Chains A and B, each alone.
Chain A
Amino acid sequence: MLRLIIEKELRDIVTSTKFAVTFASCAALILLAFFMGGARYHADVARYEAAQAENLKKIEGVTDWLQVRDNRIFLPPQPLATLVCGVSNDIGRTTQVRGRGELSQNETRYGDEPVFAMFRFLDLEFIFQIVLSLFAVVFAYDAVCGEKERGTLRLTFANPLPRRRYIAGKLIGAFLGLALPLLVPVLLGCLLLTQMGIPLSADEWVRLALIIGTGLLYFGAFLTIGIAVSALTVRSSSAFLALLVIWIAAVLILPRSAILLAGRAVDVPSLDDINAKKFRYQEQLFDEDRVKMSSFSPSSTGDMQKMVGEFQKFMTSISDEREKKMDEFSARLNEERANKQALQQSLALGIARVSPSAAFSLAAEALAGTSLTLKDHYLQAAKEYQQTFAKFMLDKTGMNPGGGMVFRIRIDDSQKSAPINPREIPPFVYRPMTLSEVLPSAVIDIGLLFVCTLLFFALAHLAFHRYDLR
């Protein structure tokens, strides 16, 4: 009997014009998202490589390694980030790395090109989150009450059919009829990606598969919500209205409002305040160092080069000390801010997660590697690179001045030294997050989606048990 219900449901759905229209448009959108994502990835990679080339070009012709004060590193474009944008366009992608000192990430995509911030991108996450959920609502709103209005509910229950089978049959039938056909454009899209030459590692393919799976789970959750509401109402027009209100609340309003209301409830110390404190402390340290510098005297006053050499070493040693103190001070301030931010995050996201739409967003972004952790991950990688760069500078020049004062003496102009080879600078290799790193945070949200589906399934069951079938 269950199988018959499922078959009937499938046939109902697949032969309706509603299905043809909505499926065609969803398929078109999904393929478009894959295509434009691929094109954007290629464009981003071209710009990334051009920026890197310019970066190296600017040190061509330099004859002294001491003149190379810093190296600009960039966050390389990630293929999954073009499919699920997340916050990848809101974080700074460029970091100016000196041998020592704090790093700051600048140049966000939306900050540089605000035209994209106005309407943002049509990525896979958007299609799943907004379009597919609306799709689910449009199909599920008259699941039970529509059949009652058409009179076919009575006819179905003229057969020996237990009530619980009916809801299950409806859900499975709707899911199979709607979600499985969507796999076709998704697979075509993945094929398109390989044709376009987008390099995805095995890890990334698995993550993409998980993102699609979560999307389908989210779709199923909305189907369940739709069926539950339809089992609670008698008229399909009121079911549709109620579902629309739920859709607007869950997809459009709740995530945003939760973040904005709960986010501001926690008092996070502002960056301006922290930077001002750091600046003042640094001034204080510089003042102390001035006194030290005034009391410096070289061991011999004959050899110019030797004098300068000694002075440089002296400067490096006081720089090291100063940096140690600065690091301690900064670490304390940064930790305080990070703790408050973590609290803010757990509060805001916790409330937002009540909406399955937010849970899906967070899961998809976590799996794609474009969640809030991207910022910290990039900063961590930049810090590690700073160590590499500092060691490199130390090897080449015997000191690591960072951004500080560098003193060079050229006595004899006829002495033209050979230009350095910029390619000797160690390249910044960014290691993207792996599945094992992102899975723990995604699992929470995937679990929430499961729970939501189960809850509404139970609700639909209960509602239908007392439903007037006539």
Chain B
Amino acid sequence: MLGILIRKELTATLLSPKFGATFAVCAALILLSVLIGIQEYRAAVRQYDEAIQLAAQNLRTESSWMGLSTHAYRRPDPMQLLITGVNNDVGRASGINQVEDVKLTNSLYSEDTIFALFRSVDLTFIVSVVLSLFAILFTYDAVNGEREGGTLQLTFANPVPRATFILAKLLGSWLSLVIPLLVPLALGGLVLLLSGIPFSVDQLERLALFLVVSLLYFTLFIALGVLFSTLMRKSSMSFLVSLSAWVVLVLIVPRLGVMAAGAARPIPSVAETEAQVDAFAKDRWEAQMQAMQSRWQQRQEAMRSLTPQEREAYQRDHEHAWTEDDAAGRRDVERDIDAFSLRVSEDFRNRKSAQERIALSLARISPASSYQLAAMSVAGTDISLKSRYEDAMRAYRSAFTAFVDKKQQETGHQGGFRITVDSQTGFHFSAPRERGTLDVSNVPVFSPPQSTFGEMAASVAIDAGLLSIVTLLSYAGAFLTFLRYDIR
């Protein structure tokens, strides 16, 4: 009997014009999102390659190790073409130098603000908004539609156990909606493969995980639709309730949750924390100035009783030591400022993650946000993207500045310009410049951080678990309600 009922479900759904139209629309949208994603990814890769080349070129044309700086860039990830997440909101580059801390700036949306107007249409958007709407609109009258049409009575004129019927409904509606969905998804996958974008094994595994989570999300809405159809007598009522539930769950709750967290736990703005670091830096450089001044006075004292020739000789002998002392003083200041900056930004980050935890917990009330969070974790475009890259860039900055310092010491602090002010000989300006360029072949290069599959799976598990629980509860609810349903 179960088999017959499931077959009936399948034919009823697949042969309806409703199905043909919605399936065509879903297929078109999935393909559209994949094509747009591919285009966006190619543009991002082009931009990244150009930027890397320019940075390398700039390094090659430098002729002094002093104050050498470069940029580090975020590498575009093919997963981002399916799941944009916050990829376009987080800065894609940071300056790397001895003075300033790492800060990601120049996000796509801040540079090319026109793309921020309506944001992206990625596969996650299509699944979370459009597919869920269609799922719920196909199943909202699964049971009460049959009751209103009179076919429910006819079915139960046969010796059909209630449990079998509702099971057939659940399975049949799932099969008839999910299996056709696999066709455009497979087509999308084919388009991806044919586009020539290289996917590593790890990324293919993530893609598979993303598909599984998407299907789970789709199933949830099918279950919700069937649940509403068993809870309400009239299909017009369940239609209204299903639609409202969709609007609330998919559109409203995610935004509300985040907004509430923002209001509940406000954090200081980045400008404020930067001003704190600036204030500390100013004080520190002041102290350094004082120290340098007293050193200069000491040196003048030591030379006071010498003749001009002896003075020159003395200066030449001590020049190297003096430069070393000054440089050491400068390095101390930079180290102190770095440590302070790190403390401030860690404090800021802790408060921010407290706020984020609240925001995400509130948002997770909605399965749509659970799904989006899971998808973003899989693609690595969730909020950890920013901290992951900032940490990696900080490590790179230490390596880079250590390398530059070493080179500076080796070549004897040449470059820049030197201004000597002497109370007796007056002003002397020299700009010794290396005529050649630097050998930058050993300069450390930034390698983008990877999040391991294990780390990512842990965070996806929470959301996948939430989705599964809600689906199972809906199915159980539909099942139990139907056991006491009035069939007439």
Tell me whether A4 is interfacial, beta carbon within 8 Å.
no
Contact with B along A280-318 (1 / 0, CB 8 A): 100100000011011011100100100110010000000
Asked if A114 and B383 make an inter-chain contact with CB atoms under 8 angstroms apart, the answer reads: yes
Asked if B426 and A87 make an inter-chain contact with CB atoms under 8 angstroms apart, the answer reads: no
In the complex, what distance in Å separates the CA atom of A241 from the CA atom of B385? 39
Taking CB atoms and an 8 Å cut-off, the chain A residues in 342-374 that contact chain B are 344-345, 348-349, 352, 358, 361-362, 365, 372
Give chain A nearest CB distance to B263 CB in angstroms.
5
Tell me whether A131 is interfacial, beta carbon within 8 Å.
yes
**Interfacial chain A residues near B120, Cβ < 8 Å:** 256, 260
Tell me whether B201 is interfacial, beta carbon within 8 Å.
no
Give chain B nearest CB distance to A31 CB in angstroms.
13
Give chain B nearest CB distance to A349 CB in angstroms.
8
Contact with A along B229-241 (1 / 0, CB 8 A): 0000000010010
**Interfacial chain A residues near B457, Cβ < 8 Å:** none
Asked if B386 and A114 make an inter-chain contact with CB atoms under 8 angstroms apart, the answer reads: yes
Stretch from A89-97, A211-219, A442-450 that touches the partner: A89-97
In the complex, what distance in Å separates the CA atom of A40 from the CA atom of B261? 11
Tell me whether B58 is interfacial, beta carbon within 8 Å.
yes
Taking CB atoms and an 8 Å cut-off, the chain B residues in 5-51 that contact chain A are 17-18, 21-22, 25, 29, 32, 36, 39-40, 43, 47, 50-51
In the complex, what distance in Å separates the CA atom of A374 from the CA atom of B374? 34
**Interfacial chain A residues near B111, Cβ < 8 Å:** 271
Stretch from B171-179, B271-279, B311-319 that touches the partner: B271-279
Contact with A along B340-365 (1 / 0, CB 8 A): 00000000000010011001100100
**Interfacial chain A residues near B61, Cβ < 8 Å:** 280, 283
Asked if A252 and B129 make an inter-chain contact with CB atoms under 8 angstroms apart, the answer reads: yes
Tell me whether B112 is interfacial, beta carbon within 8 Å.
yes
Most buried by B among A62, A248, A341: A248
Asked if A40 and B259 make an inter-chain contact with CB atoms under 8 angstroms apart, the answer reads: yes
Tell me whether A380 is interfacial, beta carbon within 8 Å.
no
Asked if B430 and A294 make an inter-chain contact with CB atoms under 8 angstroms apart, the answer reads: yes
Asked if B121 and A260 make an inter-chain contact with CB atoms under 8 angstroms apart, the answer reads: yes
Stretch from A44-52, A166-174, A184-192, A388-396 that touches the partner: A44-52
Asked if B21 and A245 make an inter-chain contact with CB atoms under 8 angstroms apart, the answer reads: yes
**Interfacial chain A residues near B427, Cβ < 8 Å:** 296-298, 301, 307, 311
Asked if A46 and B118 make an inter-chain contact with CB atoms under 8 angstroms apart, the answer reads: no
Asked if B17 and A92 make an inter-chain contact with CB atoms under 8 angstroms apart, the answer reads: no
Asked if A118 and B382 make an inter-chain contact with CB atoms under 8 angstroms apart, the answer reads: yes
Q: Which residue of B lies closest to A67 (CB)?
A: B282
Asked if B240 and A21 make an inter-chain contact with CB atoms under 8 angstroms apart, the answer reads: yes
Known: A115-B356, A304-B423. A90 touches B113 (CB 8 A): yes
Tell me whether A255 is interfacial, beta carbon within 8 Å.
yes
Known: A72-B275, A87-B116, A276-B54. A121 touches B255 (CB 8 A): yes
Asked if A268 and B130 make an inter-chain contact with CB atoms under 8 angstroms apart, the answer reads: no
Tell me whether B421 is interfacial, beta carbon within 8 Å.
yes
Asked if B251 and A131 make an inter-chain contact with CB atoms under 8 angstroms apart, the answer reads: yes
Asked if A268 and B112 make an inter-chain contact with CB atoms under 8 angstroms apart, the answer reads: yes
Taking CB atoms and an 8 Å cut-off, the chain B residues in 411-448 that contact chain A are 417, 419, 421, 423-427, 429-431, 433
In the complex, what distance in Å separates the CA atom of A273 from the CA atom of B359? 38
Q: Which residue of B lies closest to A295 (CB)?
A: B429
Stretch from A103-111, A156-164, A321-329, A432-440 that touches the partner: A103-111
Asked if B121 and A36 make an inter-chain contact with CB atoms under 8 angstroms apart, the answer reads: no
Q: Determine which of B39, B110, B272, B382 lies in contact with A51 in the assembled complex, contact meaning CB atoms within 8 Å.
A: B272
Give chain A nearest CB distance to B360 CB in angstroms.
7
Most buried by A among B268, B274, B283: B274
Tell me whether A1 is interfacial, beta carbon within 8 Å.
no
Asked if B268 and A47 make an inter-chain contact with CB atoms under 8 angstroms apart, the answer reads: yes
Asked if A261 and B36 make an inter-chain contact with CB atoms under 8 angstroms apart, the answer reads: yes
Give chain B nearest CB distance to A241 CB in angstroms.
6
Tell me whether A410 is interfacial, beta carbon within 8 Å.
yes
Known: A263-B115, A307-B421. A47 touches B269 (CB 8 A): yes
In the complex, what distance in Å separates the CA atom of A352 from the CA atom of B129? 20
In the complex, what distance in Å separates the CA atom of A290 from the CA atom of B419? 12
Q: Determine which of A272, A348, A358 lies in contact with B114 in the assembled complex, contact meaning CB atoms within 8 Å.
A: A348
Known: A115-B356, A118-B376, A268-B112. A413 touches B89 (CB 8 A): no
Q: What interface size band does chain A fall in?
A: 35 or more
In the complex, what distance in Å separates the CA atom of A119 from the CA atom of B385? 16
Tell me whether B408 is interfacial, beta carbon within 8 Å.
no
Tell me whether A116 is interfacial, beta carbon within 8 Å.
yes
Q: Which residue of B lies closest to A105 (CB)?
A: B110
**Interfacial chain A residues near B257, Cβ < 8 Å:** 119
Q: Determine which of A46, A87, A276 lies in contact with B266 in the assembled complex, contact meaning CB atoms within 8 Å.
A: A46
Q: What interface size band does chain B fall in?
A: 35 or more
Known: A62-B282, A261-B36. A107 touches B247 (CB 8 A): no
Stretch from B99-107, B149-157, B329-337, B463-471 that touches the partner: B99-107
Most buried by A among B120, B247, B275, B282: B275
Q: Which residue of A lies closest to B21 (CB)?
A: A241
Known: A39-B263, A111-B89, A410-B293. A294 touches B431 (CB 8 A): yes
**Interfacial chain B residues near A14, Cβ < 8 Å:** none
Asked if B18 and A237 make an inter-chain contact with CB atoms under 8 angstroms apart, the answer reads: yes
Asked if A32 and B256 make an inter-chain contact with CB atoms under 8 angstroms apart, the answer reads: yes
Tell me whether B262 is interfacial, beta carbon within 8 Å.
yes
Taking CB atoms and an 8 Å cut-off, the chain B residues in 365-416 that contact chain A are 369, 372-373, 376, 382-383, 385-386
Taking CB atoms and an 8 Å cut-off, the chain B residues in 160-219 that contact chain A are none
**Interfacial chain A residues near B451, Cβ < 8 Å:** none
Tell me whether A425 is interfacial, beta carbon within 8 Å.
no
In the complex, what distance in Å separates the CA atom of A252 from the CA atom of B127? 12
In the complex, what distance in Å separates the CA atom of A22 from the CA atom of B244? 8
Asked if A298 and B429 make an inter-chain contact with CB atoms under 8 angstroms apart, the answer reads: no
Give chain A nearest CB distance to B214 CB in angstroms.
17
Tell me whether A454 is interfacial, beta carbon within 8 Å.
no
In the complex, what distance in Å separates the CA atom of A72 from the CA atom of B121? 36
Q: Which residue of B lies closest to A48 (CB)?
A: B269
List 7 A-B pairs, minimum CB-CB distance, nearest first: A301-B426, A58-B279, A54-B275, A117-B89, A90-B116, A51-B271, A110-B89
Other contacts beyond A106-B105, A271-B111: 20, CB < 8 A: A22-B244, A36-B260, A40-B262, A47-B266, A67-B282, A90-B110, A106-B103, A111-B90, A111-B104, A111-B110, A113-B262, A116-B262, A119-B254, A252-B125, A256-B121, A263-B112, A276-B54, A276-B58, A296-B427, A307-B427
Can you pick out 11 interface pairs between chain A and chain B where the beta carbons lie within 8 Å of each other?
A25-B248, A47-B266, A51-B272, A118-B373, A134-B243, A253-B32, A255-B118, A257-B121, A263-B114, A298-B427, A341-B114
On B, residues with C-beta under 8 Å from A are 17-18, 21-22, 25, 29, 32, 36, 39-40, 43, 47, 50-51, 54, 57-58, 61, 85-86, 89-91, 93, 103-107, 109-121, 125, 129-130, 133, 137, 237, 240, 243-244, 247-248, 251-252, 254-263, 266-272, 274-276, 278-279, 282-283, 293, 352, 355-356, 359-360, 363, 369, 372-373, 376, 382-383, 385-386, 417, 419, 421, 423-427, 429-431, 433
